Amino acid sequence: MFGLNTSKTNIGFVLAIAGAFILSLEVLFLRSFDDVEGFQIMFYRSISVSILFLLYILLFRRTKETIFSLKNNVKEILSGLFLGISFFCYIFSILNTSVASSLLILSISPMFSVILSQLFLKEKLPKQIFIILIILILGLIIIFKNSVSESQSIGNIIALIGAFFFASSVVTSRAIGSDKIAFGGFFAGTFAFYLSALCLLLFDISFYIEPKIMFLIFLMGLLTTGLGMLLLLSSAKYLLGPYVSLIALLEVILAPIWSLIFYSESIRYEEIIGGFLILGSIILLIVFTNIKNIKK
């Protein structure tokens, strides 16, 4: 039995690490789109993300419930709406601020998740939560205070909003069975598709982009956003949530490194200090949560 559990745990770690690694590569695509509007990126990426999740659902799901049933998928739709908004925030935060700053702020979503879980799912918080919050807020203040431009400040705010809605999606997903966990990803892509199309029309932005760029955006949606998220979702079947959240933070560490290597985007001293505080607070949260669960 021990060997079986160990084997499953190892599978979970491999899936989570692979998912975080693949997600971190998305920044290479985003930084290569010079003359493309954010809404155009969202529109075409959402199509490929939706296609990937739909194919996964049709090929691998075992539940008899249909994805097109609104009555039976209320939680999935709500989770998809929150995740779709976080998709938007991710794109626009990356386009308006540094990769390091954006991802470090987005990484606080586990903290929002804990707070929302306590409020709506009545889960008890660790006693050390206030100390952890102080450390996290201090890291955010350092990053926000040292934003080099108004655009970067806006990008940081968008990242913070994105972290909140991603956490909201995670909390909502806890009530979704593992056999339907991909439903939220499909609805997220669908919501993002319609919302980005509406924004393109409202702001009179052309749907047309160069075929080469369109192909790269489709590829990004399939190989980074879609596949990366699917692997992380699948790892949750074998690993506890806190471990998945911790491994997912690899994206925060790797993405700025890719930007530094391939685009010479420097990481500011304030981002390093603020990042250490934010990541440290998340690690403390996971450690204290696990200690509490072990005592039980």
Greater confidence (231 vs 8) lies with 231
pLDDT computed for residue 59 by the predictor: 83
The band of 289, judged by pLDDT with boundaries at 50, 70 and 90, is low
Q: Tokens 């491994």 map to which residue?
A: 247
Domain count, the chain: 1
Looking at residue 215, what is its pLDDT? 93
> Considering the domain boundaries, does residue 202 fall inside one?
yes
> What is the 3-state composition of the chain as percent helix, strand, coil, each rounded to the nearest 5?
80, 0, 20
CA distance 205 to 62: 41
pLDDT of 8 strictly over 80: no
239 residue type, one letter: L
Residue 171: pLDDT over 50: yes
For 95, the domain range is 36-295
Q: How far apart are CA 11 and CA 89, in angstroms?
A: 31
* pTM of the predicted structure, to 2 decimals: 0.74
On whether residue 149 sits in a domain, the answer given is: yes
Q: With a cut of 70, say whether residue 125 has pLDDT above it.
A: no
How would DSSP label each residue in 42-98?
Answer: HHHHHHHHHHHHHHHHHHH----S-TT-SGGGHHHHHHHHHHHHHHHHHHHHHHHS-
Q: How many Cα atoms sit within 13 Å of 160 on the Cβ side? A: 14
Give the CA angle between residues 108, 24, 158 to the nearest 5°: 45
| DSSP assigned state of 127 | T
Residue with tokens 């003359």: 35
Entry field: residues in the chain: 296
23 lies in a domain? no
- SS3 state at 25: coil
Residue 15 lies in a domain: no
- Distance (Å, whole) CA 270 – CA 276: 10
**Residue 271, in any domain of the structure:** yes
Q: What is the pLDDT of residues 62-120, one digit of tens each?
A: 655 666 666 667 778 888 888 888 888 888 888 777 776 777 777 777 678 777 777 77
Euclidean distance between CA atoms 162 and 156, whole angstroms: 10
Q: How far is CA 89 from the centre of its chain?
A: 10
Q: Is residue 40 part of a domain?
A: yes
Residue 260 falls within a domain, yes or no?
A: yes
27 part of a folded domain: no
